[in-house]
């Protein structure tokens, strides 16, 4: 049984929402964030990535960054202006990118259920990234960007969403990346709360660090509150939950800076010991169990030889990202830990295979690998088994925007 809570969203005025809403803080680096917000004083990146308003050499984890985030947040509330909903509400949030549409339910979700794995995970988090968002939450006393959850399709929730989306939306705008964002406020929250009680589990699709940070921030605030009851807003976190049959996962591709002291010919010979290799392959693999590799100006197709396939039905071991890691990245290129090895980078599928070619052709990488996307069923199966996917296994697109619905704690 899943518990959801309506909340009094702090949100932008309709006429300024497109200027304020910003890409998630963690999909851009500092320089990209600075460029996106340069001509837009209303951009929420001034809050979520406040280092962009400080000198270029500032440590993004210094106290001054969180102080600036708080000051920028207060300024935006006053001048945006951002206003708080009169009554606790639940919202419906639709994303449309090209021909793909997904419609989710925005609400607050239980930190206790996150801690107890009713809200299930598939990814390990990094302590430094948790520290960053925890400090951001505590400085603002707000959660400013939603976690992206998914759940197995539920007929009653589908009906409730359809009823709400037949009405006039609060917001309807198309962002600079051509993703259309439409949000409605549900007139009555109780039917959504009751329907979610029939949902056995939720799954984090994107936003593991946001959820972990909300849990850690709750622990701090609970310790500081001698009158803690469990009903405080800090016991909940902001999220949007989408039915799993609407969620879209794109490939999360890999580029490696060098060939581990091998020449291209020597490297290719090593690869051929473990993989069937074809030349003039398409840049994107057509099916699971296939990879495309860009090396020396040419695309190669890879299929793992039978004797190297896992003798187990373990869901994690059989993921394409695992098979590539276990049979090529580690044994041939010497990359043991993709979390810490500076020789490997990751390219979200939304950037396309042309970006992989560019990185190799311009000398930023020696070889690139294009993967077939991990499926939503993979994610659910691994999460249900309590497993952890390798880092950078999934790239969800389109992305939710920060600064649209803010949860004050």
Residue 323: pLDDT band (50, 70, 90) is very high
Residue of 42, 41, 46, 34 lying closest to 70 (CA atoms): 46
Q: How high is the pLDDT of residue 5?
A: 98
- Count Cβ atoms below 10 Å from residue 298 Cβ, excluding itself: 11
Q: How far apart are CA 349 and CA 285, in angstroms?
A: 12
Residue 339: pLDDT band (50, 70, 90) is confident
At 305, which helix (H) or strand (E)? Answer: none
- Main-chain phi, psi angles of 277, to 5 degrees: -115, 130
Q: How high is the pLDDT of residue 209?
A: 95
- The pTM of this model reads 0.92
Residue 86: pLDDT band (50, 70, 90) is very high
Q: Where are the domains of the chain?
A: 4-248+397-408, 252-372
The per-residue pLDDT for range 150-166, each reduced to its tens digit, is 999 999 999 999 999 99
E strands of 234-333, at which residues?
Answer: 236-243, 249-250, 252-256, 275-279, 290-295, 298-304
From residue 140, give the alpha-carbon distance in Å to each of 137, 207, 364: 5, 19, 38
The per-residue pLDDT for range 195-210, each reduced to its tens digit, is 999 999 999 999 999 9
Q: Which CATH number fits domain 252-372: 2.50.20, 3.10.180, 3.10.20, 3.30.1760?
A: 3.30.1760
Quick check: helix, strand or coil at residue 126? coil
Check if the beta carbon of residue 217 is closer than 8 Å to that of residue 138: yes
Q: How far apart are CA 157 and CA 134, in angstroms?
A: 31
Q: Which two tokens stand for residue 163?
A: 């009823």
342 cis-preceded (ω within 30 degrees of 0):
no
Q: Which single residue is written with the structure tokens 């600036």? A: 68
Residue of 396, 392, 348, 148 lying closest to 248 (CA atoms): 396
Residue 126: pLDDT band (50, 70, 90) is confident
The per-residue pLDDT for range 66-82, each reduced to its tens digit, is 999 999 999 999 998 99
Residues 6+ apart with CB under 8 A from 135: 61, 66
21 cis-preceded (ω within 30 degrees of 0):
no
Task: Give the chain's mean pLDDT.
Answer: 96
Longest CA–CA separation in the chain, Å:
68
Q: How far apart are CA 248 and CA 246, in angstroms?
A: 7
Check if the beta carbon of residue 8 is closer than 8 Å to that of residue 85: yes
Q: How high is the pLDDT of residue 171?
A: 98
Q: Mean pLDDT, to the nearest integer, of 132-156?
A: 98
Question: How far from the centroid of its chain's Cα atoms is residue 161's Cα?
Answer: 23
Check if the beta carbon of residue 254 is closer than 8 Å to that of residue 344: yes
């Amino acid at each position: 049984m899943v518990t959801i809570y309506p909340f009094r969203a702090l949100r932008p005025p309709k006429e300024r929402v497109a200027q304020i809403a910003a890409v998630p803080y963690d999909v851009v680096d500092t320089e990209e964030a600075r460029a996106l917000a340069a001509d837009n004083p209303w951009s929420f990146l001034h809050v979520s990535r406040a280092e962009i308003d400080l000198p270029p050499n500032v440590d993004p984890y210094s106290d001054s960054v969180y102080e600036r985030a708080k000051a920028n947040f207060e300024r935006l509330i006053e001048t945006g202006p951002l206003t708080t909903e009169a009554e606790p509400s639940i919202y419906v949030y639709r994303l449309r990118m090209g021909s793909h549409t997904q419609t989710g339910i925005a609400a607050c979700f239980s930190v206790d259920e996150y801690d107890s794995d009713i809200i299930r995970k598939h990814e390990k988090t990094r302590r430094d990234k948790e520290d960053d968002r925890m400090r951001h939450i505590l400085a603002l006393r707000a959660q400013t960007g939603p976690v992206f959850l998914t759940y197995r399709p539920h007929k009653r929730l589908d009906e409730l969403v359809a009823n709400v989306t037949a009405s006039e939306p609060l917001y309807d705008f198309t962002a600079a990346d051509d993703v259309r964002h439409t949000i409605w406020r549900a007139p009555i929250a109780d039917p959504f709360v009751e329907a979610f009680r029939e949902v056995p589990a939720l799954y984090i699709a994107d936003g593991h660090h946001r959820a972990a940070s909300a849990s850690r921030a709750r622990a701090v605030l609970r310790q500081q509150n001698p009158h803690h009851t469990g009903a405080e807003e800090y016991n909940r976190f902001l999220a949007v939950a989408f039915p799993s049959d609407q969620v879209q996962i794109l490939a999360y591709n890999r580029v490696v800076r060098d060939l581990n002291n091998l020449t291209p010919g020597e490297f290719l010979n090593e690869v051929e010991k473990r993989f069937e290799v074809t030349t003039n392959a398409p840049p994107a693999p057509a099916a699971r169990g296939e990879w495309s590799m860009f090396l020396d100006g040419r695309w190669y197709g890879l299929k793992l030889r039978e004797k190297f396939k896992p003798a187990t039905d373990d869901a994690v071991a059989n993921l394409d990202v695992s098979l590539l890691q276990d049979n090529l990245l580690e044994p041939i290129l010497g990359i043991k830990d993709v979390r810490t090895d500076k020789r490997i980078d990751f390219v979200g599928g939304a950037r396309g295979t042309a970006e992989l070619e560019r990185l190799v052709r311009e000398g930023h990488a020696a070889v690139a690998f294009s993967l077939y996307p991990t499926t939503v069923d993979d994610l659910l199966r691994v999460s249900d088994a309590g497993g952890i996917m390798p880092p950078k296994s999934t790239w969800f697109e389109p992305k939710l925007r920060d600064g649209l619905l803010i949860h004050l704690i």
